[in-house]
Amino acid sequence: MRILLLRHLDTISCALYAKWLQKWPHSISHSKFESFTRSVGSHLASAYNLARWLTLDENSAKEIVEGAYVRAWQLFDNKKHGSSKAWFLAIVRNMSHNLHSQGDRRNPLDGQQPISAQGNATDLRQSIERLPLDFREVLVMRELEQMSYGEIADATGLPVGTVIARLSMARKGVESAMYVNYRGTPVV
């Protein structure tokens, strides 16, 4: 059964996978395992994407996804009906926030030069990375992971209205940063 899981773990490095296997219980119900991989395994890429945007660090994102996958397995019997993606990304989000609160709270991009005006995907990526974490997470969930407002609200524990407001502010922040890149003056 563990071999079946390997196809779902392409975003996690082999070293982390080997470490994770040591934690995995040796006696697994085949039906529970299949149900779990159908529910959660298909969202590993989304989980890595969210963790990468929240932590701004590839290695931390891999560790978070690995830990979230193990945690999801532990909590799987208690999972309520609803979106598996929102449930799993909520675990990833919480683990990302825990890592952020334990570490340095400074934005790793503080003090860097303004985004270059090359007008490419790098500018957009940097504009998103410069957003405050609260705005960045809802923007990634909505625009990159195609989650509904309700799913984002479930994953973050926020009211839908707050999700919509944060998303609006995040979009304006990215738009303003991109406009500065091309025009040299901020959007008013």
- Range 118-188 classified under CATH 3.40.50.800: no
Q: Report pLDDT for 150.
A: 93
Q: Is 103 left (phi over 0), alpha (psi -120 to 50) or beta?
A: beta
Q: Report pLDDT for 48.
A: 92
Q: Report pLDDT for 117.
A: 41
CATH 1.10.10.10, the chain: domain bounds: 118-188
Q: Report pLDDT for 120.
A: 63
CA 186 to chain centre: 29
Rounded CA separation 19/182 (Å): 46
Rounded CA separation 64/52 (Å): 9
Q: Report pLDDT for 144.
A: 87
pTM of the model: 0.61
Provide block-wise average pLDDT over 10 residues at a time, the chain (188 residues): 41 49 58 81 90 88 88 82 88 85 49 44 83 92 90 93 92 81 52
Q: Report pLDDT for 5.
A: 41
Q: Report pLDDT for 184.
A: 56
CATH 1.10.1740, the chain: domain bounds: 1-17+28-105
The highest-level CATH class for domain 1-17+28-105 is: mainly alpha
Closest to 51 in 3D by CA, of 36, 42, 63: 63
